[in-house]
């Protein structure tokens, strides 16, 4: 939310403001408010009429987070019962638009091709028994030797990022910086991963799925995809949520490859066999199918909804 507000070119709290957990930069002059999905749900629960809001835009909706699904369901309920003038727009690069259009009572589907440079997709299967960190480090060294520009590598989590960085230290050129990018990093470190490299230097960004969407990392023309991501899975027997490493969906793989063609023609290297791509799930499973729903039930009760299925969930 903070980064998107900055990209819109305004000082936080001016015409563009943002709100996320533990941080709020708005003022009486704010006209565009960029919020996280959880903050949107809280706003609707606190005041269902959403005073002063004329439109709600859901970006990157294909990620299908629980907060995103719940926020849209609440907004549709508000639109139907209290605010028929409220405009709703759902955006995504890889979403099944027809399904969402039906959910939005036959809303029109607008397609924008945008600007994309060609991406050469290559496959470099990881050998059985080879740790993902070893395979990724080897692929990165090879790509740095054969290709120009900076590099973005997708790994499932922080542990794999740190191990890959360790394997690259002192084994790549001195003009190449290694920078991590994952959600637990502070703002300054995340910004360092996104900023363009100084003249004469290259960058290797080791990232989780956080880099799939929303942001463009200047100078990146090579993407290396491990084909793995880490998703939360709720275990009813234990009542605990654990993180599970799984294969990415085809939609996520396409999103990752597209990062190489944002500013110039690029290369995407996938660490699996080409024929394995067809076996990947089409989309990442919605979080609502895997998450602990006790919090959702309590939020529905606070909204006055005894039966969650009465809301318009995708």
Which spans in the chain are helix H? 2-7, 37-46, 66-81, 97-103, 132-146, 158-168, 187-194, 250-258, 294-302
Same domain flag for 271 and 298? no
User: Which has more pLDDT, 302 or 116?
Assistant: 302
Angstrom distance (rounded) from CA 97 to CA 66: 19
Q: Which range is most confident: 8-12, 37-41, 112-116?
A: 37-41
Same domain flag for 182 and 273? yes
Same domain flag for 148 and 208? yes
Q: Encode pLDDT of 185-225 as tens digits.
A: 887 888 888 888 889 999 999 999 887 766 678 889 999 99
Quick one: pLDDT at residue 92?
A: 86
Q: Encode pLDDT of 24-69 as tens digits.
A: 888 888 899 999 999 999 999 999 999 999 999 999 898 899 999 9
pLDDT of 13 over the 70 cut: no
Q: What is the pTM of this model?
A: 0.85
Range of the domain at 306: 2-112+288-310
Angstrom distance (rounded) from CA 135 to CA 60: 30
- Angstrom CA distances, 228 to 34, 167, 244, stand at 29, 19, 10
- Structural domains in the chain (count): 2
CB environment 223-254: b (16+ within 10 A), e (fewer): bbbbbbbbbeebeeeeeeeeeeebbbbbbbbb
Q: Encode pLDDT of 69-82 as tens digits.
A: 999 999 999 999 99
Domain with residue 132: its CATH number is: 3.40.50.300
Same domain flag for 294 and 247? no
pLDDT of 116 over the 90 cut: no
Same domain flag for 152 and 261? yes
Same domain flag for 76 and 134? no
Quick one: pLDDT at residue 210?
A: 81
Same domain flag for 59 and 144? no
Same domain flag for 254 and 131? yes
Quick one: pLDDT at residue 12?
A: 59
Facing residues of 205 across strands?
Answer: 152, 179
Same domain flag for 125 and 104? no
Same domain flag for 271 and 169? yes
Same domain flag for 41 and 147? no
Percent of the chain with pLDDT over 70: 97
Same domain flag for 79 and 154? no
Q: pLDDT band at residue 10, thresholds of 50, 70 and 90?
A: low
């Amino acid at each position: 939310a903070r980064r998107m507000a900055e990209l819109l070119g305004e000082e936080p709290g001016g015409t563009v403001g943002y709100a996320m957990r533990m941080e709020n930069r708005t003022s009486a002059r704010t006209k565009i408010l960029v919020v996280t999905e959880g903050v949107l749900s809280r706003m609707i629960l606190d005041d269902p009429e959403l005073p002063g809001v004329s439109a709600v835009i859901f970006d990157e909706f294909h990620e299908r987070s629980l907060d995103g699904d719940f926020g849209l369901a609440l907004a549709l309920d508000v639109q139907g019962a209290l605010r028929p003038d409220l405009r709703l727009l759902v955006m995504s690069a890889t979403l099944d638009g027809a399904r969402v259009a039906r959910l939005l009572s036959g809303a029109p589907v607008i397609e924008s091709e945008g600007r994309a440079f060609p991406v050469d997709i290559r496959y470099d299967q990881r050998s059985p028994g080879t740790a993902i960190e070893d395979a990724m480090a080897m692929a990165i060294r090879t790509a740095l030797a054969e290709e120009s520009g900076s590099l973005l590598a997708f790994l499932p989590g922080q542990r794999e990022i740190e191990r890959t960085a360790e394997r690259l230290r002192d084994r790549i050129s001195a003009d190449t910086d290694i920078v991590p990018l994952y959600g637990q990093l502070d703002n300054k470190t995340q910004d360092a991963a996104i900023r363009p490299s100084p003249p004469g230097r290259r960058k290797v960004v080791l990232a989780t799925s956080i880099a799939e969407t929303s942001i463009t990392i200047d100078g990146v023309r090579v993407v290396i995809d491990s084909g793995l991501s880490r998703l939360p899975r709720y275990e009813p027997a234990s009542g605990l949520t654990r993180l599970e490493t799984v294969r990415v969906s085809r939609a996520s793989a396409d999103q990752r490859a597209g990062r190489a063609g944002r500013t110039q023609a690029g290369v995407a290297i996938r660490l699996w066999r080409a024929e394995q791509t067809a076996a990947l799930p089409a989309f990442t499973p919605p979080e609502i199918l895997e998450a602990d729903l006790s919090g959702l039930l309590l939020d529905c009760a606070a909204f006055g909804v005894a039966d969650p299925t009465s809301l318009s969930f995708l």
